Amino acid sequence: MADQLIEVEIITPSRSVFKGKADMVTLPGAVSEFQVLYNHAPIVSSLVPGLVKIELNGEVNKFAVDGGLVEIRDNYISIISPIADSKGTIDAPAMEAKLKESKARILTNLSDQELEELRHDIQFIEAQLKITQ
């Protein structure tokens, strides 16, 4: 129903990436992926690198986010991420090469912190590649 829509905004430090309406939004929560429908309970959650899917009338817009925060309140979703990419902003061959290079680095001698940062980077690259498909 037109009156049961959610307002959604995706913001990075440099720009507003998306502002529009949705029937349903899927988010990469820190504990697990979760969906938001009309009249969802208020919540603030951290996000991991992954896909934000914004559905409206059967069409899905996908965005790759590099972690961040989401606040859901009064049928308004505010997503704040350091980086958020849409399909048109991704250079798939470059991302595939970067993913291959990053996965090869896992086999090198890395500290625990370096390994965790590399896993984070790989999750974001994989999300970027998913939106190009």
Q: What is the pLDDT of residues 72-83, one digit of tens each?
A: 999 999 999 999
Give dist(CA 56, CA 126) in Å, integer: 24
Q: Are 113 and 86 in contact (CB under 8 A)?
A: no
pTM score of the predicted model: 0.89
For residue 108, name the pLDDT band (cuts at 50, 70, 90).
confident
pLDDT at 2 over 60: no
